[in-house]
């Protein structure tokens, strides 16, 4: 499977934001011109979006870069994330993973980007990609 996977490094700097579970989805989160993922649980409202649109008073982990596993990936595939994340874990590179209906996304902190690119390039085709100005994600479990 590894030779068939292509990982694209998307050009965005992202933030992972935490709001109270009962918070309304803020307008700034919905005007993103690139990547956005919104997840609500009974404990929190989590928003991943462009770093530069997040107000400074919002609790956020900033300066993330994101790899997209080129898909769509079939739901019957197993171990996709494990195989990608294993070399990163072995090198102590922290990640934040998201999945959509079609594929998986792996985020690494900006200061670990070059290390992550090198580790992933050893097993997969990694390319830098420009994406359309608007991309919305729906969360799901899987892969």
Q: Give 25-33's long-range contacts (Cβ < 8 A, gap of 24+).
A: 28/53, 28/54, 28/55, 29/53, 33/133, 33/134
Residue 141 lies in a domain: no
Distance CA 75, CA 64 (A): 27
Output the pLDDT for position 128: 66
Nearest alpha-carbon partner for 71 in 3, 132, 140, 5: 5
Find out whether the peptide bond into 72 is cis, omega within 30 degrees of 0.
yes
**Cα 100 to Cα 18, 23, 56, 57, 70, distances in angstroms:** 20, 23, 28, 29, 12
The pLDDT of residue 78: 84
- Contact, 81 vs 117, CB < 8 A? no
Mean pLDDT, contiguous 10-residue spans, the chain (143 residues): 75 95 95 87 97 96 96 88 93 96 96 95 76 40 36
- Domain carrying residue 38: 2-136
Look at residue 130 in the predicted model and tell me its pLDDT. 53
**CATH for 80:** 3.30.2130.10
Token output for 9: 């490094």
Specify if 142 maps to a domain: no
Closest to 32 measured CA to CA, from 141, 132, 140: 132
Task: Give the chain's domain count.
Answer: 1
Q: Looking at the domain assignment, is residue 105 inside a domain?
A: yes
pTM value surpassing 0.75? yes
């Amino acid at each position: 499977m590894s030779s068939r996977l292509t990982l694209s490094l998307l050009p965005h700097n992202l933030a992972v934001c935490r709001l109270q579970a009962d918070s309304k989805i803020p307008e700034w989160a919905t005007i993103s011109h690139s990547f956005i993922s919104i997840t609500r649980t009974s404990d929190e409202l989590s928003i991943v979006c462009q770093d530069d649109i997040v107000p400074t008073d919002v609790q956020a982990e900033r300066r993330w870069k994101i790899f997209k596993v080129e898909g769509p990936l079939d739901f019957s595939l197993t171990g996709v994330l494990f195989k990608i994340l294993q070399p990163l874990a072995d090198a102590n590179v922290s990640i934040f993973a998201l999945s959509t209906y079609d594929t998986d996304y792996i985020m690494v902190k900006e200061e670990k980007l070059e290390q992550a690119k090198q580790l992933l390039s050893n097993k997969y085709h990694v390319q830098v990609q420009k994406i359309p100005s608007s991309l919305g994600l729906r969360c799901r479990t899987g892969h």
